Amino acid sequence: MNLLERQLDYPFGEALPERGSTIEVAPGLHWLRMGLPFALDHINLWLLRDSVGERPGWTIVDSGIDDAATRDAWKNIFATRLDGLPVLRVVVTHMHPDHIGCAHWLCERWNVSLWISATDFNVARLASSASAGFGGPLSAAFMAVHGMAADPDAVDKVGARSNYYRSLVPALPLSYRRLLDGGTVEIGRADARDVWSCHAGYGHAPEHIALHNAARGVLISGDMVLPRISTNVSVVDVEPEADSLRLYLDSIERMRQIPADTLVLPSHGRPFRGLHTRIGQLQAHHEARFVDVLEALSAKGPQSAFELVPVIFKRPLDLHQMTFAMGESIAHLHALWFAGKLERHVADGVYRFAIA
């Protein structure tokens, strides 16, 4: 546990759900984990007791990627953890593959609806048809103009990843039920309905939805607030002039309206209490990166996002990690640029940023 984590409270200690099992974190609310084939090797998913009319069952929140291991894990959960009851709906916080990848299979298997924001549903459709923002020629060209042209091999590898999103999200439900900021979802037994409020967050995904149950004091935070790592915030090829990091920082600041002692159920890491503390830590993390970027530009003169990756990420990166690092480097530069602290110029077909 690092120093920042020690400022948070982990009510379940070191406990983690065993493969194919769950931990009940609140009455009728169960925590399970699915594996991921990345350095970030897991995603937390949630099962909530529910009912539609008088029909009892379960709601699933987030789905995992679509691969044989994830489907097999779900089948085991269905056989052992649902008390013989059906799944009644699938809620997805946002469109990233580890959250939506298996949603189509779950919805088809149980003949239920997908609940998601409209923006993320439609961007998922775009990404699954063109891999926009997740590799391929558009991503390669975008990263090249932000300095990756200095490493042609890396540009070629990004361009070759044209099937990346589709490999993890091979299909999507044909329709959805829209989640909106400020809206509510009733989930629970017929005699004890719980109201979950939707909190839209921006910057990490187009329209991420976190779910807050004020009566229970529980927040399903998705990727907006994670306890151990900072959420990736990127600028990508389909929205090349975005100010993603400012959107993200404003979004988590708005989450301070949620009580500080709320039990936070994140998509990665362990459930924790200390929401306001963690928001402050994340804000301080990005402020420190702003300082690093400004100091580097003051010392070295104009730099591209690619040249500044080692300033922001002080560790070796594989190609998968580099694509996220490039997006986040651009996001920090854009935040400072839109704030008037930097200027952007084009030289030799590459964007470089300098102190204003």
From first to last of its 356 residues, what are the pLDDT tens digits of the chain?
688 889 999 999 999 999 889 999 999 999 999 999 988 999 999 999 999 988 999 999 999 999 999 999 999 999 999 999 999 999 999 999 999 999 999 999 999 999 999 999 999 998 887 766 688 899 999 999 999 999 999 999 999 988 889 999 999 999 999 999 999 999 998 788 899 999 999 999 999 999 999 999 999 999 999 999 999 999 999 999 999 999 999 999 999 999 999 999 999 999 999 999 999 999 999 999 999 999 999 999 999 999 999 999 988 899 889 999 999 999 999 999 999 999 999 999 999 999 99
Q: What is the DSSP letter of 8?
A: S
* Residues linked to residue 26 through DSSP beta bridges, in sequence order: 29
Residue 174 lies in a domain: yes
The answer as to whether 304 is a domain residue is no
User: Is residue 317 assigned to a domain?
Assistant: no
C-beta separation of 356 from 333 below 8 A: no
Domain of 67, CATH number, reads 3.60.15.10
Residue position matching structure tokens 């939506």:
100
Query: Does 94 reside within a domain?
Result: yes
Its pTM surpasses 0.85: yes
In a domain, 347, yes or no: no
Give the range of the structural domain holding residue 98, as residue numbers without chain letter.
Answer: 5-130+161-292
Q: For residue 217, what pLDDT is reported?
A: 98
Name the domain count of the chain: 1
209 part of a folded domain = yes
For 239-242, the CB contacts below 8 A with 24+ separation are 240/142, 241/334, 242/331, 242/334
Instruction: Report d(CA 251, CA 318) in Å as an integer.
Output: 29
Q: Is residue 325 part of a domain?
A: no
| Residue 42 placed within a domain | yes
Structure confidence at residue 262 (pLDDT)? 98
Q: Which is nearest to 330 in space by CA: 142, 128, 179?
A: 142
Ranges assigned E (strand) in the chain: 23-26, 29-35, 42-52, 55-61, 87-91, 114-116, 177-178, 184-189, 192-201, 208-213, 218-222, 263-266, 272-273, 342-347, 350-355
Contacts of 153 (CB under 8 A, 6+ apart): none
